[in-house]
Amino acid sequence: MTSENPIPTVDLTSFSSPSTHSDADRLAAGQAFVAVLHRYGFANVIGHGFTADEINQAFQWNKTLFDLPYADKMKAPHPPGPFPHRGYSGIDHYARADTNTSTSPDGEEATRKISDLKESFEVGSAHDDQQQNIWLPDDTLPGFRAYATSLYERLAGVGSVLLAAIGLGLGLDAQEHDALQHLASHRHSQLRLLHYPAVSKARLRHDVRARMPAHNDWATFTMLFQDGDSGGLELRDPQTGGQFLRAQPEGGALVLNVGDMLERFTNGYFRSAVHRVSVPEAEMVDEETGVPARRSIPFFVSPAPSHTVATLSRFVSDENPRRYDPVRFGEYGASVSKYHYQVGNI
Ligand SMILES: O=C(O)CCC(=O)C(=O)O
Ligand SMILES: [Fe+2]
């Protein structure tokens, strides 16, 4: 079931424009942010520092990239296997052309991996010592490499600001704050451009249940922009455990969801939110247009792979005993991403 109620919006202008705000403003905003994340594992964030023009520009690049012919996009192919998680993964329209019109729910369409319903381009830091970026030749998409590199840096900066807001809202001391900062490595986070093509009513009827099935993100937290009014991102309410709530795109807001590392760090005070990208029921959709295309831009704020994430002792008590052993982020991420790669759904 889906609720119409969007998740609450938090304004973090006092952090993104510190000179025009007081410490008291920041404390109040940080505490409000923490309260929403504690309740939902998600928050809509405004005042993050990205202008409307910057967001439009990011979606314009998303469109220009995915509008390229498949053969051009495949000049920067994601290598087989989960690592390095870089470059283009997508839909071979030519290979699937002959199965596109299948109407049998038992046929090939039904068993097709859900990954066929999206295409993505993964970008890391230019200074990542573990995973190298995989770029298109510059004459295939002039300026894209420079743009995506700058977008990565910009979002990494926003991620640090949001992490500081969480630290202030939690009332961490200096040592705890230092441990929190290790959950965001500018060199090891990840930018993803996503495009979900339009889906026909026929496919909705027969085999398409979701654009991205329910999952958790395994890093610290994810910041995500969604295009226009297409929507579709939903989170499972951590309090009811069943009901899915819409994360509606609201003018310029980014959606932040808690990932596994922040859950472990806080011993479950923040829950890594289960989320999915849904499609409407076939009956709700126009025969001609189907479900329109959708674009999103997530940024996964992550620790360094060598960093061991341990629970802060302030979150451990007799009522809430330690739930997690310390874990090296690289090892954790490798096992989870290997699983996702095998099932091919994220
Ligand atoms: O496209 C979206 O809105 C969600 C993307 C997502 O959950 C992911 O890439 O992990
Ligand atoms: Fe996700």
Tens digits of residue pLDDT in 147-182: 999 999 999 999 999 999 999 999 999 999 999 999
Alpha carbon distance 151, 153 (integer Å): 5
Q: What pTM did the predictor assign? A: 0.92
Sequence spans of domains, the chain: 2-340
- pLDDT recorded at residue 6: 75
Average pLDDT over residues 73-98: 81
Q: For a ligand 1 pocket test, name from 7, 118, 224, 279 the mutation site with the most ligand atoms within 8 angstroms of its C-beta.
A: 224
In terms of Cβ atoms closer than 10 Å to its own Cβ (0-12, 13-18, 19+), residue 174 is exposed
- pLDDT recorded at residue 91: 77
ipTM over 0.95: yes
- The average confidence (pLDDT) of the chain is 89
- pLDDT recorded at residue 226: 93
The residue with greater pLDDT, 17 or 103, is: 17
128 Cβ contact list (under 8 Å, min separation 6): 187, 188
Closest ligand by atom to 227 CA: 1
Residue nearest to atom 6 of ligand 1 (CA): 298
Is it the case that residue 34 has pLDDT exceeding 70?
Answer: yes
* Residue range 2-340 in CATH 2.60.120.330: yes
Residue nearest to atom 9 of ligand 1 (CA): 298
In terms of Cβ atoms closer than 10 Å to its own Cβ (0-12, 13-18, 19+), residue 333 is buried
Amino acid at 69: P
Query: pLDDT for 139-155, tens place per residue?
Result: 999 999 999 999 999 99
Closest ligand by atom to 297 CA: 1
Q: Identify any residues that bridge with 327 across adjacent strands, giving them in sequence order.
A: 309
The residue with greater pLDDT, 203 or 275, is: 275
When pLDDT is cut at 50, 70 and 90, the band that residue 4 belongs to is: low
Write the DSSP assignment of 152-202 as a string of letters: HHHHHHHHHHHHHHHHHHHT--HHHHHHHHTT--TTT-EEEEEEE--B-HH
Sort residue 158 into left (φ over 0), alpha (ψ -120 to 50) or beta: alpha
- pLDDT recorded at residue 99: 39
